Amino acid sequence: MAKDVLCEVNSCKYWANGNKCNASSIYVVSHHGSNQARNSEETDCKTFEPKA
């Protein structure tokens, strides 16, 4: 398990100082609708929620 999860998307409610992610878990999916991706550009973070 990763010790630190970094995120530069400061419009996310889980973003914290130092580009840290405060989410209790991270959910990443493939653009293809399967469990396969060839590079990071083919993935999305479904954990993202906009700040209120």
Structural domain range at position 51: 1-52
The candidate with the shortest Cα–Cα distance to 31, out of 39, 23, 22, is: 39
User: pLDDT tens track of the chain, all 52 residues?
Assistant: 778 999 999 999 999 999 999 999 999 999 887 889 999 999 999 999 999 8
The candidate with the shortest Cα–Cα distance to 12, out of 20, 42, 27, is: 20
Output the pLDDT for position 26: 95
Output the pLDDT for position 17: 96
Query: In a 3-state reduction of DSSP, which class is residue 40?
Result: helix
Output the pLDDT for position 39: 95
The candidate with the shortest Cα–Cα distance to 28, out of 7, 42, 43, is: 43
**Cβ 22 vs Cβ 4: under 8 Å:** no
Q: Give CA–CA dist 44/52, Å, rounded.
A: 21
Domain count, the chain: 1
Output the pLDDT for position 23: 96
